[in-house]
Amino acid sequence: MELSAKELTELSKHTAKARRNLDNLLDFVDLMNNDAEKLEGDITPAGEQIKQLSNEMSKHVDEIKTLIDAQLDKIPIDPEETKDAAGKLGLYHGTVHQVISYADTEKSKYKENSYWWRYWVSILDNVMQQEIENPSKPISQGKQGQGKPFLEKRK
């Protein structure tokens, strides 16, 4: 059984976490090197070994992340799922313009044609299609003849 998009995304997040942990190891070595003369004994060989191993492991973590992301990007987008998601966004974000802005911001976080980029494009398409089928009323438009024009001078 293949992994779902959510499961692959979770694995991808864990590879990013592993990479950050390796970066933290390199920060640790730099910190130790800054205080090397204040410490008894020579920590330089140990620090160099940590750097070497960390750099080697980083390559492997990056390779694993690339494989996971490639598998994720092969998954087709479920149009029913994104249609449902677009409807839910409308409930939580208010106006169509707010939903479009939110979805566009989310889309911009991902590489073009990646799974999540295509997911957000599909949501945007659904929101726009819903707007064409059921146009929302402009925010400033109320019942005709009520209220004062925005820039009307007060007497």
List the one residue out of 123, 52, 66 whose CA is nearest residue 89. Answer: 123
Scored b (16 or more CB within 10 A) or e, 76-105 reads eeeeeebbebbeebbeebeebeebbebbee
Q: Mean pLDDT, to the nearest integer, of 4-33?
A: 95
Please tell me the distance from the alpha carbon of residue 67 to that of residue 44, in angstroms, as a whole number: 35
Question: According to the model, what pLDDT value does residue 144 have?
Answer: 46
- Give the pLDDT score at 111: 96
Percent of the chain with pLDDT over 90: 64
pLDDT at 137: 62
Q: What is the pTM (predicted TM-score) of this model?
A: 0.75
Instruction: Quote the pLDDT of residue 143.
Output: 44
Q: What is the pLDDT of residue 35?
A: 83
pLDDT value of residue 114 = 97
Would you state the pLDDT for residue 109? 96
**pLDDT digits 0-9 by tens, 120-142:** 999 999 999 988 888 876 544 34
Note whether 104 and 86 are within 8 A (CB).
Answer: no
Rounded distance between C-alpha atoms, residue 130 and residue 30, angstroms: 55
pLDDT over 60 (residue 100)? yes
